[in-house]
Structure 1
């Protein structure tokens, strides 16, 4: 590495690290993120603690004993009122909603005539619970009308719990695919955000120096390619430092927030003793085993490889765009080639990989360099042959070399061009100079 390149990397790194905005966001961002998580958890708790009051008019006199109060819903019997008076009472007392069960000659007519009145669209879970109560009651009445034995029917119901096991005899959790997708999806999404944030830093740095005409002085002492690579490397080192600080601070703050606010990792309203019944304890154990069986070492190593490779690939494009324009506003016309592959990688990962991680679509997009850093990271938790990873990385490295050459050509001409917004056609002409 030449002395000029080292000086540029050092200059870019120090200028980024000493920047007031960089320092503030480095330490403030984890606080904001953890604060938002704590706030959402607290608001969710408040939302779940709120008891909805539902009045009901039951003209059949059959459902009063079935509509029992729960932690989320409190029922009030307005059956002594007619419908209009019940509506007026609900409105005046600001009750959440009114359930109306009319009297009909048959259960079929009744099932199609039940109404729920509310000022706003009612909560889906509350409606679903009420529908289940009424449907169960009417079903049992229909059984009795047909002369069927309800106890015999209930005891005859089969409850299936399919056990998943591979051909080697190892049992697997039913949630295994979602756990793998969670690990891969988090890694892929984190990579995309890093590329967008720090790639924009490179572009803004180029535009700033070009606008201030500092670039004309710098370019007299160093080669354009060295300057471009110095900006990319210096910004990447600052970004990696910021990323590690975020991880450390975020972990500490999450632990502190959990202990201070008493955020319960158990789902709200779920009794742990109930959650572990009916083989749920075994399911949790299998889930933990599946997490431990994930190729964590391969995932971590691949994350850093694709982390660095994806950053270099896209930051060289960002640097070329910064050199080609005079302001960030002018850069918008060139952002589609960057944003589109990143978004495509995320969508392919979440919609194709989880359905078929080894299918044609997943495999092809994990090889294409512009999408492979994201899609391959999402595939690795599902188990990818080493030769596929090697091919993907080889193609990525080849693309980085080509893109740096391509961006260097545009950078060499663009940093000294002022006052004119270039078109794609002009950019390709610069490659010939």
Structure 2
């Protein structure tokens, strides 16, 4: 193990001095920010589009119901046939025609209303139109039944139950959403980090093996030491690149948004909701958000994120390194990648479809202890409140499995690193473990 620091330093410097590594370190944030700026710019253009809709209301029920907005202009038609209205809309700069026929009953009317357009309209547009029509028709239906719709609205009471833990801590309805965002982001970040930098370790092993450099190194260094050095060195290089990405993306996004006046949230549903819920509504949302952020165990989240992030990556990195040692080219790795990726993919699915629904259920708990899925699943469970002893047990199992996996991976690494010209099978790799 005396050579371990030297190997780590060599691997780290080899990676960070590589031209492609340097180029991608600085080019990736530029591409990311460029895509962000392009999407935001196109969204702003899309939001500036004014849609003109003609309304032919033969029933006379909705004459005063359609009010134009900055992005939606309604033109009420009268005294013409529907076929003529369709030709006018089709030949002019009209987005669509809403045809409301005259019928004998409201029930019949609800089935006869038609929206004509050149292509399929957006779901949000049709929802807005349908809601407007539905409100008016329901109001008239209540009047036909001799019921005052305004009285019903006044008698309607909205209930939002207060949320509080048994220990007396207040929570809000936004709590689950914030916890889900953090857990999902943490799990997905680990998932991507493992895939990107695990492949980097695997390619590094394959390159040294094919160039026969490994034969010189292995003569003075034990395979296990070399394996650990590659894992730790590449990990440090990956963390360095990740930190540079975060810093550059934050700086570039600040510069781009200030220079070009891009509003990333313009036109988004959340932004529109906030604009509509002025004064008290917006203030209440902000209060709920701050309340939930204060209730989150931030220190616990950060510490456990680091531990699971490191443990999960090291575990999978040892598997990637052993695969790289077993093959001669990157194309030969495909048969061995599926068993490695399947637990990761399973962890993401379990996290999003099980933890979200019941973070303390049996399935969630079991997968948060299995070392190949615990980094993702436990990270998604922690924001919802997991006892510290469960977290510590999961961390212990994860790092213990990493140590055991390094022992197995080193056996594969020791034999496979000197094997050339033959594609190994699972049976042969199993034999290597016995050497």
Contact 1:198/1:236 (8 A) holds in 2: yes
**For 1:313, which of 307, 312, 315 is the aligned residue?**
315
Match for residue 289 of structure 1? 291
The question of 1:404 aligning with 2:406 is answered yes
Aligned ranges for residues 98-247 of structure 1 at < 5 Å? 98-247=97-246
8 Å contact kept, 1:225–1:408: yes
| 1:115-173 CA-partner distances (Å, limit 9, x unpaired) | 11122211111111111111111112222222223332332222333332334443322
Map 1:1-400 → 2, pairs under 5 A: 1-2=1-2, 4-264=3-263, 268=267, 270=272, 274-277=276-279, 279-400=281-402
Secondary structure at the aligned position of 2:56 is classed as: strand
Instruction: Kindly tell me the number of residue pairs found equivalent between the two proteins.
Output: 432
1:277: how far off?
4.5
Contact 2:40 2:264 in 1 (8 A): no
Range moving further from structure 2, 315-324 or 58-67: 58-67
- The verdict on how the C-alpha distance between 1:39 and 1:70 changes in structure 2, with shifts beyond 3 A counting, is same
Contact 2:231–2:317, Cα closer than 8 Å, also in 1: yes
The residue number in structure 2 matching 1:417 is 419
CA spacing shift, 1:303–1:64, aligned 2, 3 Å: same
CA contact (8 A) 1:173 1:283 kept: no
Residue 265 to residue 331, structure 1, CA distance change in 2 (3 Å): closer
Structure 2 residues not aligned, in runs of 5+: none
Partner of 2:429: 427
For residues 6 and 143 of structure 2, the distance between their equivalents in structure 1, rounded to whole angstroms, comes to: 88
Query: Under a length normalisation based on structure 1, what TM-score does the superposition of the two structures give?
Result: 0.95
Deviation string 1:218-270 (CA, Å, 9 cap, x unpaired) is 22222222221111111111111111212222222233233223344765364
Contact 1:140 1:150 in 2 (8 A): yes
CA contact (8 A) 2:322 2:409 kept: yes
What secondary structure, in the 3-state scheme, does the structure 2 residue paired with 1:222 have? coil
CA distance in 2, matches of 1:325, 1:229: 19
Say if 2:43 and 2:266, in contact at 8 Å, map to a contact too: no
Separation in 2 of the partners of 1:319 and 1:169?
49
Distance 1:169 1:265, change over 3 A: farther
Alpha-carbon contact 1:198-1:239 (below 8 Å) kept: yes
Cα 1:116–1:273, aligned 2, differ >3 Å: closer, same or farther? closer
Counterpart contact for 1:171–1:286, Cα < 8 Å = no
Give the conservation status (yes or no) of the 8 Å contact 2:52–2:73. Answer: yes
How far the C-alpha of 1:191 sits from its partner, in A, is: 1.0
The SS at the match of 2:157 is: coil
Task: Give the C-alpha shift of residue 385 in structure 1.
Answer: 0.8
Q: 1:361-400 deviations in whole A, cap 9, x for unaligned?
A: 1111111000111111111111211110111011111110
CA distance in 1, matches of 2:286, 2:186: 23
CA contact (8 A) 1:172 1:287 kept: no
> CA shift at 1:326, angstroms?
0.9
How does the TM-score come out when normalised to structure 2? 0.94
1:77 partner SS = strand
CA contact (8 A) 2:327 2:333 kept: yes
5+ long unaligned stretches in structure 1: none
Q: CA deviation at 1:290?
A: 0.9
Quick one: structure 1 residues 271 and 393, their matched pair in 2 at CA, closer, same or farther if it must change by over 3 Å? Answer: closer
Secondary structure of residue in 2 paired with 1:117: strand
**Alpha carbons of structure 1 residues 209 and 168: separation in structure 2 relative to 1, 3 Å:** closer
User: What SS class does the counterpart of residue 112 from structure 1 fall into?
Assistant: helix
